[in-house]
Amino acid sequence: MDPAPPAPTRFHLLDDEALLAQCEIQVHRAGGPGGQHRNKVETAIRLVHGPSGVVAEGKDQRSRTQNLAAALGRLRAKLAVLERPRKKRKATRPTRGAKERRLGEKRIHSQRKASRRGDHE
């Protein structure tokens, strides 16, 4: 008997506390424009979601709480994208022109190789 496939986990629907409990919160300094305050104070937040391994950062604002909210929103968006079912690939055929070009190139290549061997007719 085959085991049932695991139910898809909807991490992006969890409340903030439950989602943060599953994350590792890393605080670091954000570089870039913003002057001395941005380069000196550790207000940037990186959230690493443990079960899925998804990483989201918030480093746009000067406040750590605002950056945490931004990182949480980005993490939810990334987790929602992972939850979406993938589209099946539509089978396609090469066009007639592509076939003719490929066969023409193969013909030229084989003639070139035959001329090197010296057994052309």
Helices (H), the chain: 16-21, 35-40, 64-83, 96-117
What's the rounded Cα separation, in Å, for the pair 77 and 108? Answer: 52
Domain extent for 73:
11-83
Residue 21 lies in a domain: yes
| pLDDT at res. 8 | 47
Number of domains in the chain: 1
| Residue 13 pLDDT greater than 90, yes or no | no
Residue 104 lies in a domain: no
Residue 92 lies in a domain: no
Return the CATH number at 49: 3.30.160.20
Q: What are the tens digits of pLDDT across the range 48-67?
A: 998 888 999 998 888 889 99
Residue 121 lies in a domain: no
What's the rounded Cα separation, in Å, for the pair 23 and 28? Answer: 16
Considering just the CA atoms, what is the radius of gyration of the chain in Å?
A: 28
Residue 6 lies in a domain: no
Residue 64 lies in a domain: yes
Q: Name 101's bridge partners.
A: none
Q: Provide the residue type at 99 as one letter.
A: K
| pLDDT at res. 112 | 92
| pLDDT at res. 3 | 46
